[in-house]
Structure 1
Amino acid sequence: MGRGLLHHIELYVSDLEESLAFWGWFLEELGYESYQKWEQGASWKMDNTYLVFVQTEEKYLDIPYHRKRTGLNHLAFYAESHEDVDVMTRKLIEKGTRILYQDQHPYAGGPDHYAVYFEDPDRIKVEFTVG
């Protein structure tokens, strides 16, 4: 395994079906494979790392998530090239995904940082970047 490597990330989501459609497609585009599935959740795995999505319990749904509050801000994934970012950007737009910082795209992270930034159904920011 590798000491210090990320083992897994678990996200609670407001609408499991919608989140699985969003994340399943994106993660499979990156090479992740479906790993686990149960009534209240599912996961995708690549090598030794996996991402888990679980339906938030009804009693907690009235507490909104916002990436600028304390807690998770965003998840960033490596792209292979500028073209990889461009192809993913087109696919995201075709799927109706909200692209962030469109006026600065693809250099919203600075002149040396080529990436697309977008949001999942719960408005968690996701980054797909060359580096």
Structure 2
Amino acid sequence: MLHHVELYVSNLNDSVRAWEWLLCDQLGYTLYQSWPEGRSYRFGDTYLVFVQTEEDHLTPSYHRKKTGLNHLAFHATSLTQLEDIRQQLTSHGFQELYGDRFPHAGGPDYTALFFEDPDRIKVELVATM
């Protein structure tokens, strides 16, 4: 079982604005820890941590196609939830990916929404019906 994931981000305020909306308002996470350089959000026994990257380590910037983390995938409750979240993405700092193929960008039998956070970390919400 996964215990936690820690992500270093280029702008903590931008990341908190985006991720707190997604995790807490949409997916049922709760704020777990908060300190000047970071936040964590918990769901059950698993939590996600967001930490401000120190200035000396901001370049080169993150890219999901380089070695390292490619994306985070979360369960969604339904296609309706995906559609509701999709309508609100950009107002919360996310950018949709593969919008021309929504909701089946992952294939005809795969219902999901794909998008990127402010650091271009890919996020996937999968509706398992």
TM-score range (shorter-chain normalised) is over 0.9
**Structure 2 Cα separation of the partners of residues 45 and 11 of structure 1:** 14
Q: Which runs of 4+ in 1 moved over 4 A?
A: none
SS of residue paired to 1:86: helix
- How many residue pairs align between the two structures? 127
**Structure 1 unaligned spans of 5+:** none
TM-score (normalizing by structure 1)? 0.92
Structure-2 residue corresponding to 1:92: 89
126 and 84 in structure 1: CA distance in 2 versus 1, 3 angstrom threshold: same
- Tell me, yes or no, if structure 1 residue 102 matches structure 2 residue 99: yes
- Tell me, yes or no, if structure 1 residue 15 matches structure 2 residue 46: no
Structure-2 residue corresponding to 1:71: 68
Structure-1 residue corresponding to 2:41: 44
Structure-1 residue corresponding to 2:109: 112
- Tell me, yes or no, if structure 1 residue 125 matches structure 2 residue 122: yes
**Structure 2 Cα separation of the partners of residues 94 and 39 of structure 1:** 24
Of 92-101 and 57-66, the range deviating more from structure 2 = 92-101
SS of residue paired to 1:72: coil
Of 92-101 and 63-72, the range deviating more from structure 2 = 92-101
1:6 alignment partner AA: L
**Structure 2 Cα separation of the partners of residues 21 and 93 of structure 1:** 12
Per the TM alignment, residue 62 of structure 1 is displaced from its structure 2 partner at its CA by 1.5
Write the deviation string for residues 73-110 of structure 1: whole angstroms up to 9, x where unpaired: 00000011111111111121444631001111111000
SS of residue paired to 1:103: helix
41 and 95 in structure 1: CA distance in 2 versus 1, 3 angstrom threshold: closer
* Equivalent of 2:54 in 49, 57, 60: 57
1:19 alignment partner AA: S
CA RMSD of aligned residues (A): 1.1
Percent identity reads 54
**Structure 1 Cα separation of the partners of residues 78 and 118 of structure 2:** 26
- Tell me, yes or no, if structure 1 residue 6 matches structure 2 residue 6: no
**Structure 2 Cα separation of the partners of residues 17 and 80 of structure 1:** 28
TM-score (normalizing by structure 2)? 0.94
